[in-house]
Structure 1
Amino acid sequence: RFGTEEQKRRFLVPLAGGEYVGAYCLSEPTSGSDASNMSTQARRDGDGWVLNGTKSWITNGGEAGVYLVYALSNPNVPKSRGITAFLVPANPPGLRAGKKEKKLGIRASSTTQIFFEDCRVPADAVIGTVDEGFKIAMATLDGGRIGIGAQALGIAQRALDESVRYSKEREAFGHPIADFQGLQWRMADMATRVECARMLVYRAARMKDAGQSFSKEASMAKLFASETAMFCAHAAVQMFGGYGYVRDYAVEKLFRDAKITEIYEGTSEVQRLVISRHVLR
């Protein structure tokens, strides 16, 4: 959408072909939800740019084949109007990944800081227009929220599936625990929330594919699906009892993995802010 034909040929084709993964470098140690309040600098130097700064919480850090980096390129205007996006190939001089974070969940993907120390990139590394990168960042997050909603939906569905299976196998007081009304109602709530989340995610994805405005719908899908993932994972652990607290069963992992869906691509609080702004227009 924003890249040149040459950038698409160079980066999009191998990304789509699975030759390597990408990394999205927006957050910093002191700017998370307030994404435009970044400190990473992009300074013009001859026919290129020099990047300096630190990015935090970077998925695929140290393993990506290309980094999409946002940096402050014009300090003389409000920050949201002076940010430029750059496509930076892996391992140029001046780009360094920090140690892998020891995370609560999603441990199969690396998360690191990325350090830029006089990292020189050519002029054709700019994606879109100079000083208008923040628009790209926000548009990218809208689409990414649908993906996180889908991730959360999968976690919630698995938690429900595991709970249904376990409730039919586990017996207490001479009956499968599926016979107890309290657990039946809990699974009814889980199933209802899962289906609601599914419809919200599918609607947002359909609107995106149709080229319609979908920012509000993406935030709704991400908000509801992520909170459904937490609800269902918590309910599953509770239903499993002590077995839900050990690694022999999948639900403890689902519980750990669910939490991040309420945080990245915009916290639940940010999603509510986005939704309310659309509602109040």
Structure 2
Amino acid sequence: MTKGKKFFAYTFLIVVSFISVFPLYWMMVAATNRSVDVTRGTLMFGTALFDNANKLLGSQNVSTALINSFKYSTIMTLISLLICSIAGYGFEVFHDKAKDRVMSVILLAMMVPFAATMIPLYQMFSKARLLNSTLGFILPTISTPFLIMMFRQSARSFPSDIMEAARLDGLTEFQIFYRMFLPTMRSTYAAALTITFMNAWNSYLWPKVIMSDAKSITMPMLVANLTQGYVTDYGILMLAVLICTIPTVVIFFLLQKSFAEGITGAVK
């Protein structure tokens, strides 16, 4: 690559990186400024961080929202990884035409928007008395077609010779799954964990519908509450958004290498 091409390539990457990072920078800046300064478009850090924090903690139950979000997201992530990995493993290892048809139906379900099934789901959960419950939050999304497809694709790279040797040694299918398949698919599990946790943490529509009790509030619901009213304090709003963003950013940066490997289907 010539110097001219390198210059334009690096210039393009710098511009794109700046555009990508700028919203995060502006969010942090806005969290430290007053609402009037945010509306003016200031790009410098201010001195109103502690005032915004005191107002936020005084007007909203942030601790309850954080605890609920962590609880719901963690439980949903663990159960989703278990169910979807077993399903993806089963679809590939015990492969036949009937399972291919079932998998096709599951993939078609990805085309149905959640809003189309939300009302029937609410009626079902209301009759089952699962409103304002952890089970009601996680049950509709503990198994997703995307995760099942991802684990099925990863299972295709799992050597069949190893499974045959394990069966000859007397291992059951569950022992093969937990002792052999699960350890070798750590990057896939890391990618699935990141995706599932972020989706659960940022979930708003379904919790808003099914969680009517103030004690069941989550962080996205708390952020939405700050926009309701005649006047919105953008400093407090941006601080709440910043608090809501930190856990997902931490999870992504801790698992970014494994996330990239899992998405590309790498197996170690």
TM-score tier, shorter chain, comes to under 0.3
- Structure with more contact order per residue of length (Cα contacts < 8 Å, sep ≥ 6): 2
Tell me which protein shows more strand as a share of its residues.
1
**Which one has the bigger helix percentage?**
2
| Larger of the two Rg values belongs to structure | 2
* TM, length-normalised to structure 1: 0.25
